[in-house]
Amino acid sequence: NHSVDESAAPNGALATTSLIPQPLSPPRKVALITGITGQDGSYLTEFLLRKGYEVHGLIRRSSNFNTARLDHLYVDPHNSQKARMKLHYADLSDATSLRLWVDSLLPDEVYNLAAQSHVAVSFEIPEYTADVVATGALRLLEAVRSSPKKGIRYYQAGSSEMFGSTPPPQSETSPFHPRSPYAAAKCAAHWYTVNYREAYGLFACNGILFNHESPRRGENFVTRKITRALGRIKVGLQTKLFLGNLSAARDWGFAGDYVEAMWMMLQQDEPEDYVVATEDSHSVEEFLEEAFGHVGLMWRDHVEIDKRYFRPTEVDSLRGDSSKVRKVLGWKPRVGFKELVRMMVDSDIELAKREKVLVDAGYMDAQQQP
């Protein structure tokens, strides 16, 4: 396929160049991503497609379509020349489905991003969270270990939540003290990954990523909940926003930057674990201040505290020490706190404006969200 892509070259250059032997390009790398429909999955897919990968994503069956974050990347698989992203049904709770796809796709790299990823929800469905987050990772590691293809590289989506109540700054050597069923399950997944590396020589890495956000962030995580509501407040679709603990501090980065670190980990000579963080921490209140300030509103005029959003145990303060990933991988964040907040607010104001058009035309109720 080395000269086919040049057929669009101007002035019929292909007619001559295609007769000259070209060096064969290396075979396209194959990546398998769980959680491809999530925030990180969509950014990682874009990133890997740009790198020339063939990307396979495992999606779970849902009664509604759950691929909204990927729709702009979708090419009909019947167009096999162009379709480099392909989706397959599987579930982290179903080992057979994981094995089936690992064994038939024979990927070079596996990114395990799937999770019940909401910390507060994990208190309500702890057992399911453990099954998907902890045992799910174990099932996938087993599928990779027993695959006929040797040398598959595995990425495990670890979390700063594992540090829990350990005070900042948190680095690879800081102790874990999880504060939720979600965080405890992520610790198990972390140690399964370490164990498969030590026991079987698997090329398996844990990325211990601090919070990362974007306009594609799920709407019930605090940053997006704020910017989504703010957009609607700004265009007059709502007036109030109900939140929980405003004093918790997080090290918020941009998801687009973080997926690059995932890939970089798998390109090294040795598999290791890395903390990925901006090293800059802000409280939820500071996020509100920045977001509302950006559009000239006062958050205190709109925010009400609702005890429902407090967690039985909270993670008070996270700020990463990411010196290892910066030194060894040469990674650093491109988007800082203010830019991130503005990017999310601007995007959600545009979204709210589109909603407003539908509401004004009588196609949508103001309470309803698409």
Write down the least CB distance from residue 213 to ligand NDP, Å.
7
Q: Which is nearer to ligand GDR, 85 or 92 (CB)?
A: 92
**Given 190, 212, 232, 282, the residue binding ligand NDP (CB under 6 A):** 212
Check residue 93 for interaction with ligand NDP (CB under 6 A). yes
Q: Does 161 help bind ligand GDR (rule: CB under 6 A)?
A: yes
Give yes or no for residue 225 binding ligand GDR (CB under 6 A).
yes
Which of 161, 279, 290, 355 does the annotation list as catalytic?
161
- Distance, in Å, from the CA atom of 204 to the CA atom of 266, rounded to the nearest integer, reads 8
Q: What long-range pairs does 15-18 form, CB within 8 A, spacing at least 24?
A: none
Count interface residues toward ligand GDR (CB under 6 A).
21
Residues of this chain, 228-267, that bind ligand GDR according to CB under 6 A: 243-245, 248, 250
Residue ranges in 32-61 that form contacts with ligand GDR under rule CB under 6 A: none
Q: Does 302 bind ligand GDR (CB under 6 A)?
A: no
Nearest residue to ligand NDP by CB is 38
Q: Which of residues 101-120 bind ligand NDP (CB under 6 A)?
A: 113-117
Distance in Å, CB of 315 to ligand GDR, minimum? 6
Nearer to ligand GDR by Cβ, of 218 and 293: the residue is 218
Of the candidates 17, 221, 347, 366, which one interacts with ligand GDR according to CB under 6 A? Answer: 221
Q: Which residues face 33 on adjacent strands?
A: 57, 111
Is residue 182 annotated as a catalytic residue, yes or no? yes
Residue among 147 and 206 whose Cβ is closer to ligand NDP: 206
CA dihedral sign, ordered 79, 81, 82, 87? positive
Given 37, 45, 159, 214, the residue binding ligand GDR (CB under 6 A): 159
Of 42, 117, 122, 159, the active-site residue reads 159
The residue among 125 and 366 lying less far from ligand NDP, judged by its C-beta, is 125
> Is position 109 annotated as part of the catalytic site?
no
Q: Is there a catalytic annotation at residue 198?
A: no
CA angle centred on 149, ends 146 and 154, rounded to 5°: 75
Residue in 347, 76, 138, 87 with CA at minimum distance from that of residue 230: 347
Phi-psi region of 151 (alpha: psi -120 to 50; beta: other; left: phi over 0): left
Contact present, 213 and 40 (Cβ < 8 Å): no
| Closest distance to ligand NDP from the beta carbon of 114 (Å) | 3
- Count of residues touching ligand NDP (by CB under 6 A): 25
Taking the complex as a whole, how short is the minimal distance between the CB of residue 188 and ligand GDR, in angstroms? Answer: 14
Pairing of strands 153-159, 203-209: parallel
Q: Report the catalytic residues.
A: 159, 161, 182
Binding site for ligand NDP (CB under 6 A): 34-35, 37-41, 60, 62, 66, 91-93, 113-117, 132, 157, 159, 209, 211-212, 218
Contacts with ligand GDR, residue ranges (CB under 6 A) = 117, 119-120, 159-161, 211, 220-223, 225, 243-245, 248, 250, 284, 309, 311, 314
